[in-house]
């Protein structure tokens, strides 16, 4: 394709993934967007430049990535950050002391830490709850609520929240509030929150968008002009920008997002169904199970661009009797699954949320939110299904 496809034209997801935001390099014809490793741009006269003045503010590799991610989420604007947490931080910094935030109580531990340990002391006020009960959620909203924070599927319990339902209640009771969906777990291939009425979509691009465990980054996608301006101001004023090499890596990875997600979903489904049959395994959490409490909602809300319900690549399970020692043995004995934090890469990972990703949440808060000590979280990669199942079977056998 010689000319850059117009992101607003009705191109399919795969075509947008490969092309949106990018054009062959005008000076050489290079098909891949160059890594513009520069801090500044020469001006002919003061103010007479080619659209870029200083690389904290803009960089062409970053601009290409922002266009690409916006096209995948169906958003008008994309703003990228040095990490997912930096993106969340920019949102919080755009609020003011006294502002109220309602959040899920089942969320990434780093987000919880940022909310409670950094921004609560600065005067932001937080209410955490299980937002599956929309009436209870409505009770948590206040006239001063400025932001509603939603992860769905949640990390690590894989609860499903009703984005459209949350948006509707928020609009009715707290019209000043914006609804933000952390779409890291689903990726835009499976869920496009703006289509359900959300105002802002956030990603840790470190995960499925980056896809190869070789980069850390974050992004916010939105149609909201005022928030775009606020977030671009944050980038300029506080500077948590991704470097051009990191932007290039994410841009390269999104070209195969649709292909990878299909395999992540198929493998996760097979792994979850295998785990369910194992005598040492207790509850298995996977939204693709017909008896998962959020299954019907997930089947409506999580759909590939062609409309097929698909439930993602994440599976969590606990051991019979919440046996922490057995869980520890399983995690120490997998060979194909690597024991590591993070998720969404092509390689399968196993992790222990209570001591790793969610270790910053106090044990009593964690247990009250329903996170068992023996819970194991799997990020199911794109290897061969039979090898993944054999690996878990062996590790469970040894434990």
Q: Which residues contact 235 (CB under 8 A, 6 or more apart)?
A: 56, 57, 79, 81, 90, 241
Query: Encoding tokens for residue 235?
Result: 């980038």
207 a catalytic residue: yes
From 38-46, 127-135, 182-190, 237-245, span contacting ligand PLP (CB under 6 A): 182-190
Site membership for ligand PLP, residue 182 (CB under 6 A): yes
Site membership for ligand PLP, residue 152 (CB under 6 A): no
Interface residue with ligand PLP, options 22, 145, 155, 170 (CB under 6 A) = 155
Interface residue with ligand PLP, options 22, 59, 204, 222 (CB under 6 A) = 204
* CA 203/CA 399 separation, integer angstroms: 35
377 a catalytic residue: no
From 27-35, 78-86, 130-138, 291-299, span contacting ligand PLP (CB under 6 A): 78-86
Site membership for ligand PLP, residue 247 (CB under 6 A): no
367 a catalytic residue: no
Kindly determine how many residues on this chain lie close enough to bind ligand PLP according to the rule CB under 6 A: 16
Q: Which of 156, 211, 165 is nearest to 188 (CA)?
A: 211
> Residue 315 pairs with which residues in a beta bridge?
378
Interface residue with ligand PLP, options 67, 74, 78, 110 (CB under 6 A) = 110
Give the sign of the dihedral formed by CA 125, CA 360, CA 181, CA 372: negative
Site membership for ligand PLP, residue 391 (CB under 6 A): no
- DSSP 8-state class, residue 116: I
199 a catalytic residue: no
Q: Which is nearer to ligand PLP, 19 or 203 (CB)?
A: 203
Q: Which is nearer to ligand PLP, 132 or 357 (CB)?
A: 357
Interface residue with ligand PLP, options 106, 151, 199, 318 (CB under 6 A) = 151
Alpha carbon of 88 to those of 7, 64, 99, 325, 349: distances in Å? 26, 21, 15, 35, 24
**Alpha helix stretches (DSSP H) within the chain:** 13-19, 60-73, 84-93, 109-113, 134-140, 163-173, 225-238, 244-254, 257-276, 295-301, 324-333, 363-368, 385-398
x/- track of binding to ligand PLP for residues 80-109 (CB under 6 A):
---xxx----------------------x-
Residues that bind ligand PLP (CB under 6 A): 83-85, 108, 110-111, 151, 155, 182, 184-185, 204, 206, 216, 218, 357
């Amino acid at each position: 394709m010689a000319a850059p496809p117009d992101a607003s034209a009705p191109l399919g997801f795969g075509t947008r993934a490969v092309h949106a935001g990018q054009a062959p390099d005008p000076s050489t014809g290079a098909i891949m967007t160059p890594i513009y490793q520069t801090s500044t741009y020469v001006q002919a006269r003061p103010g007479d430049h080619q659209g870029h003045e200083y690389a904290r503010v803009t960089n062409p590799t970053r601009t290409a990535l922002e266009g690409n991610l916006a096209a995948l989420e169906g958003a008008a604007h994309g703003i990228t950050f040095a990490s997912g947490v930096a993106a969340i931080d920019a949102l919080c910094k755009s609020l003011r002391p006294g502002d109220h935030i309602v959040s899920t109580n089942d969320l990434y531990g780093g987000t919880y830490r940022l909310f409670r340990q950094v921004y609560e002391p600065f005067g932001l006020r937080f209410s955490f709850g299980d937002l599956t009960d929309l009436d209870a959620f409505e009770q948590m909203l206040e006239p001063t609520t400025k932001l509603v924070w939603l992860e769905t599927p949640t990390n690590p319990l894989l609860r499903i929240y009703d984005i459209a339902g949350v948006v509707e209640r928020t609009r009715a009771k707290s019209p000043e509030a914006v609804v933000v969906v952390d779409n890291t777990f689903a990726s835009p291939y499976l869920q496009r929150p703006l289509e359900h009425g959300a105002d802002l979509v956030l990603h840790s691009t470190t995960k499925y968008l980056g896809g190869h465990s070789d980069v850390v980054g974050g992004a916010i996608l939105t149609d909201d002009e005022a928030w775009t301006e606020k977030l671009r101001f944050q980038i300029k004023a506080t500077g948590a920008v991704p470097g051009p090499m990191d932007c290039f890596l994410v841009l390269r990875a999104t070209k195969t997002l649709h292909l990878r997600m299909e395999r992540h979903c198929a493998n996760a489904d097979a792994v979850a169904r295998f785990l369910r049959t194992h005598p040492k395994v207790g509850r298995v959490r996977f939204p693709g199970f017909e008896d998962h409490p959020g299954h019907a909602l997930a089947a409506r809300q999580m759909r590939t661009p062609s409309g097929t319900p698909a439930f993602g690549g994440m599976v969590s399970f606990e051991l019979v009797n919440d046996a922490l020692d057995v869980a520890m043995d399983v995690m120490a004995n997998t060979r194909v699954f690597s024991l590591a934090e993070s998720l969404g890469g092509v390689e399968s990972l196993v992790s222990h949320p209570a001591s790793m990703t969610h270790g910053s949440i106090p044990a009593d808060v964690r247990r009250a939110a329903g996170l068992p000590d023996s819970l194991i979280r799997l990020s199911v990669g794109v290897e061969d299904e039979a090898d993944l199942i054999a690996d878990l079977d062996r590790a469970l056998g040894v434990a």
